[in-house]
Each structure stands twice: as structure tokens, then as C-alpha cells.
Amino acid sequence: MATLKSMGQHMPELPADTLVSAVDNAGRGVVTHITIKGDRVAAIVSQSTLAMSRLLTVLLTDETAASVLPAVLPAAFPWARSLPGDHLTAFAAELREAVVAESPERVERVLIDWQAVAEVRAGERST
């Protein structure tokens, strides 16, 4: 068994087959970095996830496809149901820009910010 060390902390020992599986998975994916709660960490992203990301980017660069984004956001993000039409349009525009810029950190910031707006609006409506 191997002992792993992550960000200065000891992690539990993992069975050898778990490590072999992780290495095998890395071989089928791409090692990249993502930001989780402000910490930049290495991550293995599958080829299929990268393909979906590329597809979304291509779709959102097409004006016709991007024009339906405000209508579908509440289905993808239930918290967006509390946003009025003009807010959905602004949210869609910001999200589109972040996706097309291929900036996961920017996408994350847009989602966090708009979810906060939606929660405030939902709270105002319930009072």
C-alpha cells in the first residue's frame, strides 16, 4: 500500500489496485487544474467531458444556438427559476462569454454570482 501526501496532509493508505486504476484513468483523460473553493488543484478530466465542453463552446459561439440559452437555464440550474427574464438574459450572456473564453474559473464565478442573485430574489419573493 502507498501513502499519499496532499497539500501537507497525510492521506489514508490506498490499495495498490486503486492506484493502478487511478493511473489507468489518467491515461484516458487529461491532467489539468481546476479551482475548488479558491484552491487550485490537479484534476483528471475524461476525454468525454472535454468533448462535451468543446461541443458546448461551439454551440455557444453560434448565435442561433446561444439564443435559447436564457430559456434553458432554469432547467439546468433550478435556482435560476427565481430570475426574471432580463436577469436570465444577462446571466446567459455572462455564462456564454465565460464558456467561449474557455475559462473554468470565470464560469465558476458567473455561476456563483448568479446563484447568489437568484437566492436573494427568491428570499425577497417569500417575504
User: Which whole number is the average pLDDT over 81-109?
Assistant: 93
Q: Which residues contact 105 (CB under 8 A, 6 or more apart)?
A: 35
Q: Count Cβ neighbours within 10 Å for each residue of 97-121 and write b for 16 or more, e otherwise.
A: ebbeeeebeebbebbeebeebbeeb
| Contact of 73 with 88, CB cutoff 8 Å | yes
1-46 residue pLDDT tens: 344 444 455 545 645 565 556 556 556 666 666 777 778 877 777 7
For the chain, what's the residue count?
127
